[in-house]
Structure 1
Amino acid sequence: MAAEKPYDYDIVPDVEVLEDEMAMNGSMDKSGEKVDRTAATLDDAMLLSGFGMYNICHMLMSGVILLGMIMQSLALGYILPAAQCDLELTLQQRGWLSAIPFLAIILTSYFWGWLADTQGRRPVMLFSMLISAIFSAFASFAPDVISFGVLVFMSAIFMSGSSAVVYTYLGEFNNLRHRDKMVAFGSSFVGIGTVILPCVSWLILPLEFAYPIPFLGIDYRPWRLLVVACAIPFALGTVLLMFAPESPKFLFATGQYDTALNVVKRIYFRNTKMAEDTFPVKSLIVENHMTKTSNVTGARAIWASMKEQTVPLFQRPLLPWTALTCFVQFGIFATTNGFYVWFPSILNSLANHEGGETKICDVLDAGRDAVSNGTMICDDTIHTSTFERSIYIGLVFSSMYIIVGFLVDYVGKKPILVVILGFTGVSGICAHLAYNQQLAVVLFAVFQMSGACIGLMNAVAVELFPTKFRAMAICLSMMMGRVGSMVGSNLIGLFLEVNCGAGFYLFGSIIIINSLFCLTLPNKKRIPHKKIVVESTQNETHEPV
């Protein structure tokens, strides 16, 4: 998997050096007056815009979108056990329903990636989040398992539009110096979602109400309200995004140079509280690349555009990084989301277990044998300790994201990925071997911490791929991650039926292999500030060489 790094994006110029050179980047006209001819690359302009309140607010808005994505993706882990009596669900049907959101994302991520790279990040997220929230509201009124599955599928199709694009959108609003940190902090909302989801479920599911809706033939019960509650972050994110601009990287890559500069000036104004006309950059340096035009329209034009966005990802020098990011995301999603879908059921079985110390799989096997030997009575209640343990584990999960956010600037992405993935993979294997139930739950929780690396892998992709292909590359890697989620949730459901321990061994080993693959990532290169010379001819802006 080793390959040479196609672009060197980790060279971060010193801001003071840039400001000094911008101050000297004027010239004298014939009358002796200084004429302001300052120009800079977009990356240098982003550095000069500073870091402050705008970046933090933008990160929080992106976090709300990520919160909606994770809550809608994982909510079925709490909804289906509570809905199994109303919808008459079997264990196999629960497994397939849990995989529906991931299947929808798999089928549509490619399209959304192309759309985001050609039409813009902001309009894609605005449209997709709004429609996803509407379909989620409709799903809460589904009278049977088929209609519920179809409406959840439609909601997930549009959820896919923002699930990967938001990482690109977040990364492109931060300069090279703070990008990794802000993507990591934004990704912490995925961990926060694993705390909020059981909290909201604990607040709603124990309620005892059943409002009959005769023309649908249903009783509106708490689990239906939970479906709507999990769509609220998307509705809030849609409102917030209406007040946000398009990514300056996308604007610049599509030739809207003045608009891109205006966005950077707005960031500068919000961060420094200084007037926009005091921003030292007056124009952006533009690459003199010839752009081919085509008269082809319609479906052929769309196909040609998608091909243009995709083929370079599977050619050198980008092919090794496409393969690596896709494989690592596959393993992380298969483990984290695959187990999390069954997490409430596993914790519920442990809470209801009566007996001495034993392994997790022994408890699950005993519960399955008891059902097969007796009369099965539909029980859709969830034990209180299930919510409590889920919240504790979610707190640890979100703490890991925040810790990673603080460490990434000092340690770097590569060491963090290698250490976390290696440690969590070993913990997953040990969770199956532990006889003490509390220790097993702790190790199982640590096993889930591999999900904290999803944001880091997206931060890696933001650096490895040029602007023109970045959203498509991240969407492809996230699509492979969703494939992993679907495969993982169904395989784990199968393993829980036939061989529980094999699931822990398999997915623990996959995470360890991911850790080894991350050793091939390029190290972060830093050049001393005094050696950096910013010239007007320096025009590298993350576009292909």
Structure 2
Amino acid sequence: MSEQNDKLLNRPNLYVEVSNGSQTNKNKENYELEEIRKLVPGNEPVTPMQEINKAYEVCKFGWFHVKLLFVTFFGAIASILVTNTTSYILPIAECDLNMNLEQKGLLTAMPYFGMFVSTIIAGFLIDTFGRIYFLRIGFGGIFLCTLFSASSQTYEMLAAAKLCEGILFATSLAAISTLTSEFCHSTVRDRVMVCQSSYAALTQILSPAMAWGILIQDWRASFFDGRFVLNIWNFYLLAMSLWSLSAFLLYLLLPESPKFLVTQKRYVEARDILIQVYTQNTGKPADTFPFPHIFEKEIKELDSKNVDKGDTNVKLRDKIMAGLKNMKPLFARPLFGYVAFIAFVQFITLGIHNVIRLWFPQLSTIVEHYNFNGNENLCDLLDTYTGTLKAKTAANATSEVCIPHVSGAETYINSIIIGLISLLPYFVSGVVVNKVGKKVLLFVGGLIATASLLGLRWSNSKTMMVAFFSVNIAVTQTMKSLVQVVLIDVVPTAIRALALSLVMLTARMGTLVSNVTFPILLAMGCSIPFYAMASLMAFVVFLTIFLPKKKE
């Protein structure tokens, strides 16, 4: 099939005008239909989705996709910063917000509480009303909520702001991946999605770099006789809000997904956007688009029905009913089993990834203040720290002046190193994913992640600790992205955003549980959380054998 497609794409003339007027148009339509039918097995009718895929083949990969990835870069970073920023303010805001270890874990998990609340609703609305609208609403809302968190004066105020950020985060993240995947032909989709996923690693570089540049400053502003104070971490959050503002403005420049428009029977809009992609990618004028009569049959059918488009209330009601109807296949066999299985794998993978990623700045700061001496390993230092906290609590030492364990340059530099190392698996997987397959990469990645968790528990130097942190974060991050691509492969377009939302809801439950549980287990004994995570990751290795294959 791929050889046949190549021949079609390399063909110099896609159709020949044999006469003028209506006969020429008819010949063009017939030729276009014949070219698309060559992709369809047997005598099955050509679907609009197959027509779009054929159009994407001639559009190829070009400037439009570069622009799409550029906009997605800002969107991905703004999304990840919703959870990432908390990690860097925990040490420095410890005294300002009067936080203990359990409160730190709860604050870290707060965005995931918000995601848990809104994920399913967001997925349904995205599939019903469109991807691009909720990207704009999501990032505009995140910007406003980040301004609120940047002005926080109490722990409760910051926690509430982070909760709201998480609610809006759910409306944007599922739509990011869905929109990008639906603008790509299957031959390049895996590599484009892996490229987009690498933005998480870039954020791991940019986030500590920005935190290092801001949080080491001694900025403090007091207003209204000290009743409203902006500390340095408030300024840091204020600066981070610019990413979501930029994402909101840039997504105003992108069109809706043609595949979504087709599911809504908005064929003319879908055709116009396909022509737009074609002209931007090839640099050719719109009248050279090889399939100008794409969706012609469907458009004529709609015109013949003479549908009244003036009743907005009916239109809204019809959209909601159609969205509910589209949900039915998701809960039928075998699709529901596939989605549930993938969700369980993502539950463990994302839970472990986010605990290691989000707690690294705090753990690294502890290591900076309790240095390795002799034969001490990481767990010895963490047990010393938690023992000190227990002693302070038992003594009820409220009269002592709170002195935060501020992160030094080592923590930020090590975080940047982790981000740089996290980029490597994306380059490797982007090259070999089409050759060895996603399941093989997931199996090998799971083995490496398990070994790194065990090594982390016994690391006895800062270099070894950073190395194991880097390997684990890089590998689990890549695994998370590959599992997401597996889901996109097996779920049809009409319910893709909803399926992604269901999986991400389950995965965020994993992050929520792990972030709340980690400090509790850490207080019980450092070895417990690390051995538990290693066992769970080993189980994921076993589960990857049974992941569903790509739907042909």
TM-score normalised to structure 1 length: 0.87
Which of 463, 477, 480 is equivalent to 1:438?
463
1:14/1:153 Cα in 2 relative to 1: closer, same or farther (>3 Å)?
A: same
Moved over 4 A (4+): 10-13, 18-22, 24-34, 285-288, 295-307, 374-377, 522-526
Q: How many equivalent pairs are there?
A: 516
Quickly say closer, same or farther: Cα 1:255–1:203, change in 2 above 3 A. Answer: same
Find 2:403's aligned residue among 353, 356, 379: 379
Deviation at 1:151, TM superposition (A): 1.8
The superposition leaves residues 338-387 of structure 1 with CA deviations (integer Å, 9 ceiling, x where unpaired) of: 22222111111112223223221111001222344466652332122111
- Say yes or no: does 1:332 pair with 2:356: no
- Using the alignment, how far apart are the partners of 2:468 and 2:24 within structure 1? 70
Q: CA deviation at 1:439?
A: 2.0
Matches within 5 A, 1:9-408: 14-17=5-8, 20=11, 23=14, 35-37=27-29, 38-39=32-33, 40=36, 41-214=51-224, 217-284=227-294, 307-354=324-371, 355-373=373-391, 377-380=401-404, 381-408=406-433
Q: Percent identity?
A: 24
Structure 1 vs Structure 2 CA RMSD:
3.0
**Aligned mates of 1:232, 1:31 — CA distance in 2:** 54
Match of 1:465 among 491, 500, 506: 491
Distance 2:233 2:187 in 1: 44
Contact 1:358 1:437 in 2 (8 A): no
CA separation in 1, counterparts of 2:319 and 2:213? 46
Query: 2:437, 2:297 → 1: CA distance?
Result: 30
| Range that drifts further, 505-514 or 494-503 | 505-514
Tell whether 2:503 aligns with 1:477.
yes
CA 1:251 to 1:525, structure 2 compared with 1: closer, same or farther past 3 Å? closer
Mapped partners of 1:98, 1:506: distance in 2: 20
Structure 1 residues 135 and 525: alpha-carbon distance in aligned structure 2, compared to 1, 3 A threshold: closer
Residues 84 and 436 (structure 1), Cα distance of their counterparts in 2 relative to 1, 3 Å cut: closer
Paired with 1:257 and 1:517, the residues of 2 have a C-alpha distance of 41
Which residue among 471, 496, 521 is the counterpart of 2:522? 496
Structure 2 letter corresponding to 1:383 = G
Alignment of 1:513-528 (within 5 A): 513-523=539-549
Query: What SS is found at the alignment partner of 1:164?
Result: helix
Report the CA distance between 1:25 and its aligned residue: 8.7
Deviation, 1:437, is 4.2
Query: In proportion to residue count, which structure has more helix?
Result: 2
Structure 1 residues 264 and 428: alpha-carbon distance in aligned structure 2, compared to 1, 3 A threshold: same
SS in 2 for 1:23: coil
SS at match of 1:177: helix
- Which sits farther off after the overlay, 129-138 or 296-305? 296-305
Q: Which deviates the most, 115-124 or 51-60?
A: 51-60
What residue in structure 1 maps to residue 537 of structure 2? 511
- Name 1:534's counterpart in structure 2: none
Deviates more, 1:13-22 or 1:144-153: 13-22
Cα shift at 1:475: 0.9
Q: Give distance in 2, aligned partners of 1:436 and 1:249.
A: 52
Aligned equivalents of 2:280 and 2:13: distance in 1? 21
| Segment drifting more, 514-523 vs 456-465 | 514-523
Deviation at 1:521, TM superposition (A): 3.0
Separation of aligned partners in 2, 1:145 and 1:60: 35
Cα distance in 2, alignment partners of residues 299 and 120 from structure 1: 13
Alpha-carbon distance change, 145 to 25 in structure 1, aligned in 2, over 3 angstroms: farther
Separation (CA, whole Å) in 2 of partners of 1:218 and 1:501? 42
Is the contact between residue 64 and residue 233 of structure 1 (CA under 8 Å) also seen in structure 2? Answer: yes
State how far apart, in whole Å, the 1-side matches of 2:61 and 2:162 are: 39
Distance verdict in 2 for CA 1:118–1:523, change over 3 Å? closer
Contact 2:356 2:469 in 1 (8 A): no
Q: Displacement, 1:271?
A: 1.3
Counterpart residue identity of residue 462, structure 1: I
Q: What are structure 2's unaligned runs of at least 5 residues?
A: 37-50
Q: Give the match's secondary structure for 2:375.
A: coil
Conserved 8 A contact 1:359-1:437: no
Task: Provide, for residues 149-178 of structure 1, a one-character-per-residue CA deviation record: whole Å limited to 9, x for no partner.
Answer: 112211221121111210111111111110
Gaps of 5+ in 1: 1-9, 527-545
Per the TM alignment, residue 430 of structure 1 is displaced from its structure 2 partner at its CA by 2.4
Ranked by relative contact order (alpha carbons within 8 Å, sequence separation 6 or more), the top structure is 1
SS at match of 1:208: coil
Distance 1:320 1:231, change over 3 A: same
The offset of 1:87, in angstroms, is: 1.4
Of 439, 445, 448, the match for 2:473:
448
SS at 2:222 equivalent: strand
After superposition, the C-alpha distances for 1:480-527 in whole angstroms (9 at most, x for unaligned) are: 11111111111111111112212112222222222322222345699x
Moved more, 240-249 or 507-516: 507-516
Q: Tell me the CA shift for residue 456 of structure 1.
A: 1.9
* Residues 504, 311 of structure 1: alpha-carbon distance in 2 compared, 3 angstrom cutoff: farther
- Give CA-to-partner distance per residue, 1:27-82, whole Å, 9 cap, x none: 87899867321244111111111112221221121122111111111210111222
After superposition, the Cα gap between the structure-2 partners of 1:458 and 1:211, relative to the gap in structure 1 and judged at 3 Å, is: same
8 Å contact 1:63–1:187 — kept in the other structure? no
Query: More deviation in 323-332 or 123-132?
Result: 323-332
